[in-house]
Structure 1
C-alpha cells in the first residue's frame, strides 16, 4: 500500500520566530529567542520624521523561570533550542534578541498557510499549529513520472504558503508514507523540498542516527546504543526477534518496521478527538526538588500549549489529566474532573497542579504530560458556562478526583 501513495509532510520553518521576523524584519540574520512575557516587548520611539526606532531586549538580561518557545536558526547554532530554560539560554547566547510570544499572531498565520495549502491539496491531516500531512496520491497520478509531478506540486505548495503568509517558508518531505515524509522534511531545512522513494531508504535513511526517528527518545536511543545500534541501518539489520525480546513485542516490531521505512498509517482528514494532550521527554532526568523551577516552567508551558490546541480546534474539556514517567520507566497518571468545561491555560494549570499533589515525587522524572479530555465544542461549553453563571452567580470551583496508574 505505502509504495503506491504520495504523502507530504509540511513543516513550517522556525514558525514562531519566523512570524516575529515578519513584524521585525530588521532582526533577520540575528540570533532571536522567543519566550519572554509582554514586558520583554521592544521599546518603540517615534522620531520627529515619523519613523519608529525600536530598542530590543537582550537575552543576557533575563531573570526568571521561563523556557524557550522557539529560536531562529542563528540562535540554534549557539545551542539555544525550544524547551531550554531561559537562564541557561541566556548563558549560551547573552547577546541574542529576546521577544515575547504572541499566540494570536501564530494562530492567524497557521490558519493562513493551511487555507492556502488545502486550496491545492484538500486531503490534510492537521498535526499542530505549524505542521501538517497531505495525501497527494490522487493529484500525482500513476506512472514513472509521478515523483516528478510530486516535486512540482511540492514547489506549488511552498509558494502558496509564502504568498499567503507574506513570506514565511516551510520544508516539505515527499515520500510514500508519513514516517518517511516526516524524516525527509528535516533533510534540507530551512525552505527545503525533499523527494524520497522506497528505493532510496538504504542510501538516505539508514545512515541517519537512530534517535532521528520520531518515537525513539533519549532513553531508548541510549538502550539501542548500548547494544551497538547507532544508526537506522544498524537497527534495520538486527533480528526482529532480538528487538522484541529486549523492547517488548509492540515496540520491538515497530522499531524493526520503522527502520525499514514501513508505515501504513492513513492521512486522517477528519476526526473528533477524545482528548488533547501535550507531553515532553526531558533530555536528562529532572529531580522534583533540585529542578523545581525548570519543571514548573515546563509544566506551565505544556498547559499553555494544550490551551492553544483547544482554542485552535474549537474545544473545551471537563477532565484534566497529568502524566509522569519516572527514571525507572514507571508511568503514573492522575485526573481531575471539573463541574464545568475549561479552555484557558490558567484553569488547566490549576487542575493539573491538583493532580500533581496526588503523585509521589520521590525520584527523578523523565517525562511530563498534560491532557484535557471529556471534550465538547467550544460553543456548547460557552453556553454551559453562561447558564451556570446565570443560575449561581459564580462559576463553581470543585474538583471530583479520580486516579489511574499505568
Structure 2
C-alpha cells in the first residue's frame, strides 16, 4: 500500500488557517524573490502551478488573492511523525519515503483488518481523524503499481489493483506515467506512434533499448509489464535520503538550479536530522534534454545532516562540471553513507565555535538550537539563507 498525502504542506497551512481555505496557496519562495514553489494547494494547481516551478512563473499565473507562505518544516515534520505513528497501527512494516509518503506491507493484514478496500479506508480514516488531512491510497502487488494507484484518483482517492488486474490498469494510461519517461524522452516513443502503455508493451525489449538506450529501455520495458519490487524497506534499512524534481520547462538559469539545490538540501537535511542520521556522501543528479542523466558524488571527511553543508557540497559539485548554461530538466540531491552510532557518540563540540565545513558536528548542534527557537517562535524566526553573488 502506498500512502500519499494530498498537497501536504499547503493542506497543513489551510487546516491551521481557515481563512486560507478555498484560496490558491503557495508554499515556497515569496513573490519578488528568487526561488521555487515547494508545493501548492489544489486551487493553485488549477492554474497550472506545480512543485519546483520558478516562483516568478507561478506569480504570473496566479490571481491576486493567492496566499504565499514560507515553509514551516518543523511543524510539517511533527505532523509527518504523527501520521507515520498512526500507520504503524495498521502494519508493522512502514517505509517512510518522504515527509508525506510511505509504503506499507499489508500482506497478511486481511485476517486482522479485512480485504484491501477495508485496509485502505482504515489508513485514510486514521490520517483524517489523527491530523485532519486527506491522503490518496494505492494498493497493488508491487511498489510501482501501488504508487501509480495512489496517483490515479488524487486528491482523497483510493485505488486497488489486484495482481490479475495489472495490465488492464496500465494499458489504457498514457505512456508518460512510466517512471523515467519524461517530457524529453516520451516524444522519442510518440514519434513512432506510441501513445499508451499498451503501445509500449507491444515493443520488444530490444526495440525499446534501441530507442532509449539499454538502461532506460530495460526499465521502461519492465514497468510496461508491471514488473517492480514488492519489498518494503524498514527505516533501519534506508540507504539514502534524496529529493528530486522535474521542471515543467527546461531551466537554463543557474540561479534557479542553485535555489532548487538549496531547497532540496533543506528537505534532505531536515529528514536526516529527524531520523538521527548523518551522511558522508553527497550526490547530485542532473538530467538534460533527451533523458541524458548524470550523477556526481563527493565523500566528506565528517558526516553531516546540516542543510548548509549539504547545499554547499551539492552546489560545488554542480559548478565543477561543464553543466552551467545547459538546459536542465531535472535536479536531484541525495545523502548517504551513514555514520555509525558509535561514531556519533564519540564526536563532541562546542555550540558557538566557528562554523566551517570541517566542523560538521558543531553545525548540527547549532541546527538543534535553531530548531528549538523555531518551535517556540515560528519557522521564520531564524534560518540560514543563500548568499547572493554580486553582479
Smaller-chain TM-score range? 0.7 to 0.9
Q: Which has the larger radius of gyration?
A: 1
- Deviation (angstroms), 1:333: 4.2
1:100 aligns with 2:70: yes
Q: More deviation in 216-225 or 170-179?
A: 216-225
Of 11, 30, 34, 2:4 maps to: 11
Asked if structure 2 preserves the Cα contact closer than 8 Å seen for 1:18 and 1:168, the reply is yes
- Deviation (angstroms), 1:202: 4.2
- Which residue does the alignment assign to 1:235? 200
SS of structure 2 residue aligned to 1:186: helix
Q: More deviation in 244-253 or 188-197?
A: 244-253
Distance 2:287 2:224 in 1: 26
Distance 1:298 1:67 in 2: 7
Q: Return 5+ residue gaps in structure 1 as ranges.
A: 1-7, 38-61, 400-406
- Deviation (angstroms), 1:234: 1.0
Distance 2:190 2:348 in 1: 52
Of 303, 319, 323, 1:357 maps to: 319
Asked if structure 2 preserves the Cα contact closer than 8 Å seen for 1:315 and 1:375, the reply is yes
Aligned pairs for 1:115-126 within 5 A:
115-126=85-96
Distance 2:347 2:265 in 1: 22
Asked if structure 2 preserves the Cα contact closer than 8 Å seen for 1:29 and 1:74, the reply is yes
Distance 2:48 2:342 in 1: 43
- Seen in structure 2, the aligned counterparts of structure 1 residues 74 and 340 have a Cα distance that, compared at 3 Å, is same
Asked if structure 2 preserves the Cα contact closer than 8 Å seen for 1:66 and 1:85, the reply is yes
Report which of the two has the higher share of strand: 1
1:77 aligns with 2:13: no
Root-mean-square deviation (CA, aligned residues, Å) is 2.7
Asked if structure 2 preserves the Cα contact closer than 8 Å seen for 1:318 and 1:372, the reply is yes
- Deviation (angstroms), 1:106: 0.8
Output one character per residue of 1:46-68: Cα deviation in whole Å (capped at 9) or x when no partner.
xxxxxxxxxxxxxxxx2011211
Asked if structure 1 preserves the Cα contact closer than 8 Å seen for 2:240 and 2:335, the reply is yes
Q: Return 5+ residue gaps in structure 2 as ranges.
A: 360-391
- Which residue does the alignment assign to 2:56? 87
Q: More deviation in 264-273 or 175-184?
A: 264-273
- Deviation (angstroms), 1:210: 1.0
1:376 aligns with 2:339: yes
- Deviation (angstroms), 1:12: 0.6
Asked if structure 1 preserves the Cα contact closer than 8 Å seen for 2:242 and 2:333, the reply is yes
Q: Could you tell me the TM-score, scaled by structure 2's length?
A: 0.83
Output one character per residue of 1:18-42: Cα deviation in whole Å (capped at 9) or x when no partner.
11112102221111111146xxxxx
- Which residue does the alignment assign to 2:17? 24
Distance 2:228 2:81 in 1: 28
1:275 aligns with 2:237: no
- Deviation (angstroms), 1:141: 5.0
SS of structure 2 residue aligned to 1:176: coil
- Which residue does the alignment assign to 1:46? none
Output one character per residue of 1:356-391: Cα deviation in whole Å (capped at 9) or x when no partner.
3321135333333323233225895475242xx59x
- Deviation (angstroms), 1:189: 1.4
Asked if structure 1 preserves the Cα contact closer than 8 Å seen for 2:170 and 2:198, the reply is yes
Aligned pairs for 1:2-401 within 5 A:
8-36=1-29, 62-95=31-64, 96-141=66-111, 149-165=115-131, 167-287=132-252, 291-327=253-289, 330-360=292-322, 361=324, 363-376=326-339, 380-381=343-344, 383-386=346-349, 389=350, 394=354, 397=357
SS of structure 1 residue aligned to 2:108: helix
